[in-house]
Structure 1
Amino acid sequence: MDDLVHAAMARWPDVPAAYGWLSLSRRGQWRLHPHGGGWGTDTPEPGESITSPQILGFIGRNYQTDDSGCWFFQNGPQRVYVRLDGAPWILHTQPGPDTQLQLGTHTGQAYGPPSHWWLTHSGLLYAQSAQGAGLVQDHDLAQLLDHLRLADGRTLGDSLDGLSADQHTMISLAGHDAPLGWLDDNAVADMLGFVRFPVF
C-alpha cells in the first residue's frame, strides 16, 4: 500500500466505505460506475473502462482483501469495494525463466505457484494460491492448457475429453504440481473464498 494512503487513513480514520462504484471484469479491466450503480440495483450500470496508466497503477498497488473475502481498493482514507465478475485476480500467461510459462495478474504481479486448479462445467479455469483465487483470462486459456501437464506427460488440453469429475488428477506447470478439481459455476466464489458482490 502506498505511503500516502497510509497517511490518509491515519488522518481520516472514519470515512465510510463506497459500494457500487468499481468492478473488475473477467478480462482484468477495471470499470468505473459513475453513478454508484455497479451492483445492488435492478439495472446495474455497465461501467466505463479505466485506461489511465497512473490510475491503474494506483489501484493495483492499493488493492487488497478484508477478512470476509471482500476485495477493495484503498483510495486514500476510503475503501472502495469491488464487484468481481470473474475472481479477485485475472490471470494471463507470460514467459518465465528458461522459457517456461508462468502466470501473472491483471495488476502486473507474478502469480503462484497454484496450490489447486479448478475447471468449471462452462469451461473456465480457476487457480488458487496464497495470493487468493484467480481466473485464467479467456485469451490465454488455450496456451495454458497446452502447458499444463498430467503425470503421464500429456497436456491438459489434449486430455480434457477423457477426464471425469470423480477422478483424482494432478497437473503440473513449470515443475509445480497441484490437484485439479471440478466446480459448478455457481459454487466458485464460495469454494474459493471470495465475495462477488460486497454488501453495505
Structure 2
Amino acid sequence: MDDIVKQALARWPNVPHCTGWLLLDARGHWRLRDEADQAQGAPGSQIRHEALIGFINRNYARDAKGQWFFQNGPQRVYVELEYTPWVVRLASAKDGALTLADQAGQPFEPTAVYVDEHGSVLFEAVPEADTESTTESTTESVDTSAATHARVALLHDHDLDCFTEHATLAEDGASGTFHWRAETALPLRPIARADVPAHFAFVRSPEQAEKAAKAAG
C-alpha cells in the first residue's frame, strides 16, 4: 500500500466506503461505473490512464469477508468482479518456458489448474506471504489471515490457444494435464463457475452483498 494512502487512512480513519463504482473485468481491465452503468448493470468505461491503473493495482487488497477493494486514499472502494479477483496472461518465451503474470504485471506461480463448464481456465496459487494490515487506522481491516486463502486467477481468453498447446486434454475438455515446467505437470480439475467464489473464499459483488445485508436487517 502506498505511503500516501497510509497517511490518509491515519488522518481520516472513518470515511464511508463505496460499492458499485469500480469493476475488474474478465480481461483484467479496471472499469469505472457511473450511476447509469450501475442502474443498467453495465460494466462501465475502461480506465486507460496508466498512472491511475498503477495506483489501483498497488492499493488493491482483500478484506476479512473476502471482498476485494481499492484503497483510494482514506476511502475504501469495493470492487465488483466479473469473475475472479486476478486475471493472468500466459506467454511462451523463445526458449519455450512459460510465464504467467497478473493484471498488475506480477508473476503468478500456479499450483493447480481448473477448467469450468464454459471452457474458462483458472489458475490457483499459494497466497502472498506479505499481507499488510491497516487495522489500527480503519474501522474495517484487510485480511490478515491471507495464508489460509489461495489466490485464483482467470486466464485471459486471448491466451487459451497458448494454454492448449501446452496441455493434454481428455475428451471431456475439463480434465487432463497442463505442462507448466519441464519437471512440473499440473492436473486439470473441473469446477463449476458458480462454485468458484465459495471455493476460493471471495465475494464477487460487494454491492449485492451490501444490499442483501441491509435487506436482512
Question: TM-score, normalised on structure 2?
Answer: 0.77
Distance in 2 separating the partners of 1:172 and 1:99: 11
Structure 2 vs 1, CA of residues 6 and 26 (structure 1 numbering), >3 Å: closer, same or farther? same
Distance in 2 separating the partners of 1:108 and 1:144: 19
C-alpha deviations, 1:77-114, integer Å up to 9, x for none?
Answer: 111111111211111013469540110011111111x1
Larger mean Cα displacement after TM superposition, 122-131 or 173-182? 173-182
Indicate whether 1:136 and 2:146 are aligned: no
Question: Which of 31, 46, 49 is matched with 2:43 structurally?
Answer: 46
Q: CA deviation at 1:121?
A: 1.3
Distance in 2 separating the partners of 1:116 and 1:60: 24
Same amino acid, percent of matched pairs? 36
Q: Which residue of 1 aligns with 2:200?
A: 192
Distance in 1 separating the partners of 2:165 and 2:73: 42
Indicate whether 1:123 and 2:119 are aligned: yes
Matched to 1:128, the amino acid is E
Q: Which residue of 2 aligns with 1:27?
A: 27
Q: CA deviation at 1:35?
A: 2.2
Distance in 1 separating the partners of 2:158 and 2:6: 36
Question: TM-score, normalised on structure 1?
Answer: 0.83
**Residue pairs, 1:104-115, within 5 angstroms:** 104-112=101-109, 114-115=110-111
Question: Between Structure 1 and Structure 2, how many residues are aligned?
Answer: 184
Aligned-pair Cα RMSD in Å: 2.1
Structure 1: which 5+ runs fail to align? 148-154
Question: Which of 179, 182, 186 is matched with 2:187 structurally?
Answer: 179
Structure 2 vs 1, CA of residues 85 and 164 (structure 1 numbering), >3 Å: closer, same or farther? closer
**Residue pairs, 1:87-98, within 5 angstroms:** 87-95=84-92, 98=95
